[in-house]
A and B are shown apart, each in its own frame.
Chain A
Amino acid sequence: MFALGLIGLLVRRNLLFILMAIEVMLNAAGLAFVSAGARWGQADGQVMFLFILTVAAAEVAVGLALLLRLYHRFHSLDVDAASEMRG
């Protein structure tokens, strides 16, 4: 699932999909934690999942706000269109 999210992140150009892919990746990481916690019968894995949940919530809030700004500026959700930097 992590790999799927990663591929989504790399392949899609729509910012909304990228954010979703990130959610998937975070979720995958959380799943890994919970599985590991279950394997050893420890609560730590679930605690970590809680933290990941917090991070995901914060990230999605800021990310969506940025998405709105991007859309108002460029009228598209294509992240490559937002590239005006000339290195």
Chain B
Amino acid sequence: MEAIFYIAAIVAVLATVLTVTRLNPVHALLYLTVSLLAVAVVFYTLGAPFMAALEVVIYAGAIMVLFVFVVMLLNLGRHTVDLERSWLSPGAFVGPAILAAILVGEVSYLLARSGTLTPPVAEVGPHQVALALYGPYLLGVELASFLLLGALVGAYHVGSRRAQGRTTVGSRSDRTGLASGGDLVRTGADRPSGAA
């Protein structure tokens, strides 16, 4: 059991290093996914199976999908197909595949030996987590829901600006509408530079 923990941890660190050092975003995303999956395994070995499931579903699933969506959104155009091809070249799959294979091996080993392995630490199951969550942390749950709502509205607002026709996707040469201000990153330019 401890061996599984250490192997998963090494995989996680390795994948993270590779994530940070990749130049290609799609490659980095692949490594990041692997890293998250490794962390999920670590969670399981630490006696938190519920968290491990959440890690896989939300992090490796939902959040990574968002990233992939955005990467795809940014690259609409004639080069897209070529870019896709170059990104998804078989060579790029090697590294993540190896790391993922290690994880699969671990998981299958765990499944095969299920019930016989004793975790090194006491397992804290979803039951206890739910009791704590809706007991002393009720206020935190409410706040988290507010945060999600705010993020939803904020992301919609920020992302839907282009619906107002101020900039168009892919029009690389058109920068005439830029000086109109109001964007978050441009607000600084409105300040008089010689304010001293």
B132 within 8 A of A: yes
Instruction: Give B167-184 as 1s and 0s: 1 = Cβ < 8 Å from A's Cβ atoms.
Output: 111001000001000011
Question: Contact between B13 and A43 (Cβ–Cβ < 8 Å)?
Answer: no
Known: A57-B63, A62-B155. A1 touches B20 (CB 8 A): no
B103 → chain A, closest Cβ, in Å?
Answer: 16
Q: How far is the CB of B122 from chain A (nearest CB, A)?
A: 5
- Least CB distance from A86 to B in Å reads 5
Residues of B within 8 A of A17 (CB): 20, 25, 28
Residue in chain B with minimal CB distance to A60: B63
Which parts of B37-87 form the interface with A (CB within 8 Å)?
Answer: 39, 42-43, 46-48, 50-51, 54, 58-59, 62-63, 66-67, 70-71, 73-74
The residues in B between 140 and 188 inclusive whose CB is less than 8 angstroms from any CB of A are: 140, 144, 147-148, 150-152, 154-156, 158-159, 161-162, 167-169, 172, 178, 183-186, 188
A20 partner, pick from B28, B39, B155, B169, beta carbons under 8 A: B28
Residues on B with C-beta less than 8 A from A56 are: 59, 63
Q: By the criterion CB–CB under 8 Å, are B184 and A66 in contact?
A: yes
In the complex, per-residue mask of A34-69: 1 if CB is within 8 Å of any chain B CB, else 0: 110111011111110111011111111110111111
Query: Complex formed: what's the CA distance from A30 to B70 in Å?
Result: 25
Q: Distance in Å from the Cβ of A20 to the closest Cβ of chain B?
A: 6
Interface of B is mostly: helix
In chain B, residues 94-141, which have Cβ atoms closer than 8 Å to a Cβ of chain A?
Answer: 121-122, 124, 128-129, 131-133, 137, 140
Q: Tell me if B28 and A47 are in contact (CB < 8 A).
A: no
Count of chain A to chain B residue pairs whose CB atoms are closer than 8 Å in the complex: 175
Chain A's interface size range is 35 or more
Cα–Cα, bound, A34→B20 (Å): 23
The count of residues in chain B whose C-beta lies closer than 8 Å to any C-beta of chain A is 67
Instruction: Select one of A31, A61, A82 contacting B66, CB under 8 A.
Output: A61
- Give the Cβ gap from A51 to chain B, nearest Cβ, in Å: 6
- Among A4-21, those with CB < 8 Å from B are 4-5, 7-8, 11-12, 14, 16-17, 19-21
Alpha-carbon distance A34/B131, docked complex (angstroms): 17
Top-3 shortest CB links A-B: A85-B188, A58-B151, A8-B20
Query: Given contacts A38-B46, A68-B162, could you give 13 more A-B pairs where the C-beta distance is less than 8 Å?
Result: A4-B20, A12-B20, A23-B63, A31-B43, A38-B48, A38-B121, A46-B129, A56-B59, A58-B147, A61-B152, A69-B185, A72-B167, A85-B191
List residues of A whose CB falls within 8 A of some B CB: 1, 4-5, 7-8, 11-12, 14, 16-17, 19-21, 23-24, 27, 31, 34-35, 37-39, 41-47, 49-51, 53-62, 64-75, 77, 82, 84-86
